[in-house]
């Protein structure tokens, strides 16, 4: 059946108030988008920092209602729900129903990283190369969590893990994926030869997605998932953190303490131009720090001082 779509401009401060009013009048679903998504200087938001839920300063709030709902009656109901909002800013259109999950998944194609790491949507046939005996294939359903392999920050980390596997450094290792999102990096490490992995994220939805993806890949018995406050304190020979640069700076002591002497670390989620501050924070605990860039994004990798 078709839906009635309402789109309303809003600020970050207005967003909770508008969502409450829309929920009260029967909104079936709501989404937020950057109001200036087509601008060349749009603000990209990927993975929030630990304890943060960043939003754009100016947003477009979209809500879906049952098809056939009269827009005029809906505006009257919204005015009654919150008289302090200028609901005349709302714009309406009718949208056709579709298999939203299938449409979303159809955007994704199998991707190769490094020599043998493949990320393949769970409903997609294995492409040529991914069916080789030594291929490390992660079957992924990203769900609503960050991390499908399509973004340069994730690609940089997957290529780094693939390189560690080629050098034998992942064989039998324990890996920490800090800010695990969909679990893509932990799963890749396990498929590349790691004995076990720990995924940490401040979003319970991300932990659920990681656990589901681990089960789909039949490695759930080798992967533990935790909120930051529940994470077991230990050291790892391999640590990867794909979060924002500001979070990497704030968590430098925590992450350094998780890497065993001589262990390896990869830090990603860093925009070009932000690397100097991150390098400065990690230089005391790590040696051989190197910078790798893909498009506008940076990965920093290094070895824990003994």
Q: Which residues are annotated as a binding site for S-adenosyl-L-methionine?
A: 154, 179, 201, 242
Binding site residues, as ranges? 154, 179, 201, 242
The answer to whether residues 188 and 136 touch, using CB atoms and an 8 Å cutoff, is: yes
Token pair recorded at residue 205: 């939805």
The answer to whether residues 115 and 162 touch, using CB atoms and an 8 Å cutoff, is: yes
Nearest by Cα to 241 from 286, 211, 306, 284 = 286
Torsion angles phi and psi, residue 184, rounded to 5: -60, -40
- Its sign, for the CA torsion 115, 211, 108, 120, is positive
The answer to whether residues 305 and 287 touch, using CB atoms and an 8 Å cutoff, is: yes
Q: What is the DSSP letter of 233?
A: P
**Helix, strand, coil shares of the chain as percentages rounded to 5?**
30, 30, 40
- Which bin fits 274, alpha (ψ -120 to 50), beta or left (φ > 0)? alpha
Question: What DSSP line would sit under 22-63, residue for residue?
Answer: HHHTT-SEEEEEETTTTSTT-----SPPTT-----SEEEEEE
């Amino acid at each position: 059946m078709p839906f009635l779509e309402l789109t309303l401009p809003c600020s970050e401060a207005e967003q909770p108030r508008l969502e409450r009013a829309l929920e009260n009048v029967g909104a079936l679903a709501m989404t937020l988008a950057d109001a200036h998504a087509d601008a060349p200087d749009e603000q990209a938001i990927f993975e929030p920092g630990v304890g943060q839920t960043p939003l754009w300063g100016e947003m477009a709030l979209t809500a879906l209602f049952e098809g056939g709902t009269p827009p005029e009656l809906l505006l009257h109901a919204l005015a009654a729900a919150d008289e302090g909002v200028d609901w005349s800013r709302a714009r309406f259109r009718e949208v056709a129903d579709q298999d939203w999950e299938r449409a979303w998944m159809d955007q994704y194609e199998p991707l190769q990283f490094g020599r043998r790491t493949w990320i393949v949507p769970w409903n997609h046939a294995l492409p040529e190369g991914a069916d080789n005996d030594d291929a490390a294939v992660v079957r992924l359903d990203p769900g609503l969590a960050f991390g499908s392999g399509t973004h340069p920050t994730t690609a940089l980390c997957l290529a780094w893990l693939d390189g560690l596997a080629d050098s034998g450094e992942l064989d039998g290792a324990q890996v920490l994926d800090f800010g695990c999102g969909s679990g893509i990096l932990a799963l890749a490490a396990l498929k590349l030869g790691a004995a076990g992995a720990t995924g940490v994220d401040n979003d319970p939805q991300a932990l659920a997605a990681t656990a589901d993806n681990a089960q789909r890949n039949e490695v759930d018995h080798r992967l533990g998932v935790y909120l930051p406050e529940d994470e077991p304190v230990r050291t790892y020979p391999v640590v990867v953190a794909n979060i924002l640069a500001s979070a990497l700076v704030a968590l430098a002591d925590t992450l350094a303490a998780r890497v065993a002497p001589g262990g390896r670390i990869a830090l990603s989620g860093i925009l070009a131009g932000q690397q100097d501050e991150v390098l400065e924070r990690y230089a005391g605990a790590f040696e051989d720090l190197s910078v790798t860039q893909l498009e506008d994004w940076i990965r920093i990798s290094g070895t824990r001082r003994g």
